[in-house]
Structure 1
Amino acid sequence: MLPRFFALWLVFMPWMANADSGAHHLTIGVLAFGTVNWELAAIHNEGLDRKYGLDLEVKTLASPEAGKIGLRAGSVDVIATDWIWVAQQQQTGADYRFIPYSTHAGALMAPAGSPIKGVADLAGKRLGIAGGALDKNWAMLRALAQKDAKLDLNQAVDKVFGAPPLLNQQLRDGKLDALLDLWHYAAKLEAQGYRRVLDGREALQGLGISEPLPNLGYVFKQSWAGSHAPALDAFLKAAGEARNLLCESDSAWQKILPLTDEPDVKLQGVLRREYCAGKVKSWGEAEKRDVAKLYALLRQTGGAELIGKAEKLPAEIFWPYELKP
C-alpha cells in the first residue's frame, strides 16, 4: 500500500499540472485523511473537470482549522465542514454559505471487552475526539449525554482531541478508553475487533430526529459565489456526478482505492458501501426544519460557545439548493 501522502501526490499532481487555463477556476481545501478526496480524485480521473469546464485546484490541509483560516483569508474558495460552524460564524458577520455533501456522522468506538455500553459509561474515562472542541460529532454526543443521562461530558471525561490516524493508534495502544471517530476510521477499527457503541444516526434518533441529516457540506463565501457562479455550478455538477460514479462504477472506485489507505479487500467494500450510504438523497424545507431542531438541542447543551448567540438557526446560511428523492 502506498504511503498516504504519496498516494495523494500521485492522484493530484498530474491534474494540477494539466489544468485548462480557459476553465472556471476553483480552489478547494481538504484534509489529507478526508473522504472528500475520493470524490475530488474521481472528478479528475473520469474527466468531469473537463466535461464541466472546471479548473479545480486542490490544497491539502493540515487540520480543520487550517481550512477555516484559508477560507477567511481567501486562499481557498471552498472547504468541507459542518453547518454548526457556519451558523456560528454567520452570527459574527461572516457571509459563509452551506450546501449539503454527506449525511455521515462519526461513531463512538471502544475495545471489544470494554465496560462502556452507552454514553453514561463515559464518565471518568479518557475519550479521544477526532476534531476540535466544536466538532459536530462531539456536539451531538454531548447533547445526547445531557438528554439521556443528565451528564455534562465536557466536564465528565478526560478529552483528547486529535487527527483520526493518531487517535486510532492511541486506542490500539490502550491510551484511550473510547474514541469518537470519523466514520471511515471507525469502520477500520470495527474490522480490527473494536466495538461500535453508538453511531451518528443513532445519536440523532436519540435526540428525536428520525432521518439522517447532512451535517457535512461544502462551504464558501456568499460574496465569492456571487461573482463566481459558473465555477460553483460546474463544481457542484462535477462533484455530484463523481459521487454517483464511485457508487455505480467499479472502474471509478478502483482508481481511488489508494486514497482509502486500506489493503484489505473486504474492508474496501465496507468503506464503499458506507460511503454510498451517506449520500444526501433529499434536501429541502423538511430537512432544514430538522437541522433547526438539532440546532436548538445543541444550543441547550453547548450554549453560545458552541452554536452562537442566536436562539434560532440562521436560515440564510443555506445556499439556494434543492435535492429531491
Structure 2
Amino acid sequence: MRHIFGFAACLGAALLCVGLSGAAALAETPVLRIAAQKSGTVNWELETITANGLDEKNGFELEVMDVAGSAAGQVAFQGGEADAMVSDWIWVARQRAEGEDYVFIPYSRTVGGLMVPADSPARTLADLRGAKVGVAGGPLDKSWILMRAYTEKEYGFDLADETEQVFGAPPLIAEVAQRGEVGGAINFWHFLAKMKVAGMRELVGVSEVAEALGLDPETPLLGYVIRGELLRDNPDLVDGFATASRAAKDLLANDPAAWEGIRPMMNAADDAEYEALKAGFIAGIPAAGPVNEAAAGRMLGLMAEIGGAELVGGATTLPEGLFVQPGS
C-alpha cells in the first residue's frame, strides 16, 4: 500500500511540475497591447494577425485596446496603458525632438489624392483657383501640405492663397464633395475610395505629387509607435510584431479569402465599395525593406517649411533611429 501511495505522490508531484512548467511557459509569452480606434482601417491588419495566429507564430500575443480616437490612443500610450499606438512618423519625429524615446514601425504609405466631381472642368490644380476645397484633418493635413507645395512648384502659387478651404471631419468632407458643394476635396484614403465609387475622379494623386517634389512615394506615413525602451529590452517582441505585420500585409495582398473575415469591419455599402476599399488598402502597403531616410528627411523639411513649428515642433531634420522594421 505504501508503494501505491508513494507512486501516486511521485506521479502527482511530477504532474504538478509539468503543470507549473507549462504555466510558466504560457506566462512567458509576451503580450503587446496596441491602442487602436475600433473603426480605423488598421484593425483590418490587426484582425488578420490574430485571426491567422501570426502573433503566436512570431512568439507574442497581440492585444488590441479599443479607443475612441487618435487623441485617446495617445493618452493610453503616453500613460503606459498601451505598448503601441498608430500615428504618423511626423508626430514621432516631433516627439523625439522634444526628448521622447519613441520609434516608428511602418504600416501604410500615403495614398489617394485630390478628388473633383466627375463633370468638373478642372484638369490640373491650377484650375481650382477661386474654388472651394474641402480638406479633412485640418490645415496641417499632410496631403494638403504636399498639394500646396506641388502647386507652388508647378504653377507658381500657393493653393491656400488662391482657394477657400472648408475643413471638417472626413464624413462631412465626403458628403459636401459628393453634393458638389466644393470644387475639390482631400480626404482620408478610405473615404476617397468611397467617393470614387460614388462618381468622383482623382485630379492629382499624392504619389504624382511626391515624385514631382523629389520625394519617395513609397515613404510610409502611418505606422505603429513604440517606446525605444521596449525595443532595447525586448527586441524579439518588436521584431516578431513587425514580422507579423508584414505577413498580414502579404496575406491581404495575395489571398482574397483573407478579406472575408474582416468584411464586416469595413463598413462597405456594397460590393463596389468593398472592392475599392480592398484595392486602396493594398495600394497603401509600403515596400518591404528599409525606409528611404534621405527622402523622408526631405519630406520633413517640406513639412517644417509649410506647416512650421505647429506641425513639426523642433524636428527640422530627421531624428536618428526613428524608423524600425525588419531589414532596416
Does the TM-score normalized on the shorter chain lie above 0.5? Answer: yes
Mapping 1:147-186, distance limit 5 Å: 147-186=153-192
Shift of 1:97: 0.9
Deviations 1:115-164 (A, max 9, x none): 44333344444333232443322222222233233433445544444442
Opposite residue 318 of structure 1, the aligned amino acid is F
Shift of 1:51: 2.5
Deviations 1:254-291 (A, max 9, x none): 11111221143244333323322322224336x11111
Shift of 1:190: 0.9
- Bigger mean CA offset, 199-208 vs 135-144: 135-144
Q: Are the structure 2 counterparts of residues 30 and 150 from structure 1 closer, same or farther at C-alpha, using a change threshold of 3 Å?
A: farther
Is 2:35 the partner of 1:35?
no
- Bigger mean CA offset, 37-46 vs 201-210: 201-210
TM-score (normalizing by structure 2): 0.81
Opposite residue 77 of structure 1, the aligned amino acid is D
Equivalent residue in structure 1 for 2:259, among 246, 253, 258? 253
Opposite residue 241 of structure 1, the aligned amino acid is A
Does the aligned pair in 2 maintain the 1:87–1:317 contact within 8 Å? yes
Mapping 1:223-234, distance limit 5 Å: 223-234=229-240
In structure 2, what is the Cα distance between the partners aligned to 1:168 and 1:195? 13
Does the aligned pair in 1 maintain the 2:109–2:219 contact within 8 Å? yes
Number of corresponding residues: 303
Mapping 1:303-314, distance limit 5 Å: 303-314=308-319
TM-score (normalizing by structure 1): 0.82
Mapping 1:124-139, distance limit 5 Å: 124-139=130-145
In structure 2, what is the Cα distance between the partners aligned to 1:234 and 1:212? 23
Structure 1 segments, 4+ long, off by >6 Å, are none
Does the aligned pair in 2 maintain the 1:140–1:204 contact within 8 Å? yes
In structure 2, what is the Cα distance between the partners aligned to 1:61 and 1:151? 40
Deviations 1:210-229 (A, max 9, x none): 54221222212212333343
Q: Are the structure 2 counterparts of residues 197 and 60 from structure 1 closer, same or farther at C-alpha, using a change threshold of 3 Å?
A: farther
Q: Give the aligned CA root-mean-square deviation in angstroms.
A: 2.6
Equivalent residue in structure 2 for 1:59, among 58, 61, 65? 65
Is 2:226 the partner of 1:220?
yes
Does the aligned pair in 1 maintain the 2:106–2:324 contact within 8 Å? no
- Residue aligned with 1:98, SS: strand
Shift of 1:103: 2.0
Does the aligned pair in 2 maintain the 1:303–1:309 contact within 8 Å? no
- Bigger mean CA offset, 56-65 vs 117-126: 117-126
1:114 aligned partner: 120
1:205 aligned partner: 211
Shift of 1:40: 0.7
Q: Are the structure 2 counterparts of residues 309 and 48 from structure 1 closer, same or farther at C-alpha, using a change threshold of 3 Å?
A: closer
In structure 1, what is the Cα distance between the partners aligned to 2:109 and 2:75? 24
Select the structure of larger CA radius of gyration: 2
Q: Are the structure 2 counterparts of residues 321 and 249 from structure 1 closer, same or farther at C-alpha, using a change threshold of 3 Å?
A: closer
- Residue aligned with 1:315, SS: coil
Unaligned runs of 5+ in 1: 1-19
Opposite residue 273 of structure 1, the aligned amino acid is A
Does the aligned pair in 2 maintain the 1:48–1:238 contact within 8 Å? yes
